[in-house]
Amino acid sequence: MRAFLLDGYGAVADHVKLADVTDPIPRFNEVAIEIHAASLNPIDFKIVRGDLKRVSKYLMPRTFGFDASGIVLSAGMSATRFKPGDAVYARASRESIGTFAEKIALAEDFVALKPTGVSHAEAASLPLVGLTTLQGFGKVGARAGQRILIHAGAGGIGTFAVQYAKHLGLDVTTTTSAKNADFVRSLGADRVIAYDRESYLEQGGGYDIVYDTLGGAFTVDAFKVVKRGGAVISLSGPPDRDFARREGVGLLVRLAVWLMSRKVYAAAEAAGAGYCWFFTEPSGEQLREIAGLVEAGAVKPVIDCEFAFEELPAALAYLEKGRARGKVVLKVK
Please name the amino acid found at residue 332: V
Top-tier CATH class for 2-125+302-331: alpha beta
Could you give the count of Cα atoms lying within 13 Å of 284 in the half-sphere of its Cβ? 15
Average pLDDT, the chain: 94
Work out whether strand 207-212 and strand 147-150 pair parallel, antiparallel, or are unpaired. Answer: parallel
pLDDT of residue 239: 80
Q: Are 32 and 25 in contact (CB under 8 A)?
A: yes
Cα gap 77→93, rounded to integer Å: 21
Cα gap 109→90, rounded to integer Å: 9
Beta bridge partners of 185: none
Cα gap 83→114, rounded to integer Å: 13
Q: Which stretches within the chain are classed as H helix?
A: 12-15, 42-49, 120-124, 127-140, 156-168, 181-186, 217-221, 243-247, 251-271, 284-296, 312-320
Residue 139, number of CB atoms within 10 A of its CB: 14
Cα gap 167→292, rounded to integer Å: 12
Please name the amino acid found at residue 205: G
pLDDT in tens, 123-139: 999 999 999 999 999 99
- Of residues 88, 81, 71, the one with CA closest to residue 30: 81
- Of residues 141, 132, 325, the one with CA closest to residue 236: 132
> With the CA atoms of 151, 154, 156 and 162 taken in that order, what torsion angle do they form, in degrees rounded to the nearest 10?
70
Where in the chain are the domains?
2-125+302-331, 128-277
Q: How far apart are the first and last CA of the chain?
A: 12
What's the whole-model pTM score? 0.94
pLDDT of residue 69: 99
pLDDT of residue 238: 85
Phi then psi for 249, rounded to 5 degrees? -80, 165
Q: Are 172 and 165 in contact (CB under 8 A)?
A: yes
> What's the DSSP call for residue 238?
P
Cα gap 121→304, rounded to integer Å: 11
Low-confidence stretches of the chain (pLDDT < 70) are 55, 244-260
Q: Are 88 and 114 in contact (CB under 8 A)?
A: yes
DSSP notation for 162-200: HHHHHHHT-EEEEEE-GGGHHHHHHTT-SEEEETTTS-G
H/E stretch holding 2 reads: strand 2-6
Cα gap 230→207, rounded to integer Å: 7
pLDDT in tens, 232-267: 999 988 887 777 666 666 666 666 665 667 899 999
Top-tier CATH class for 128-277: alpha beta
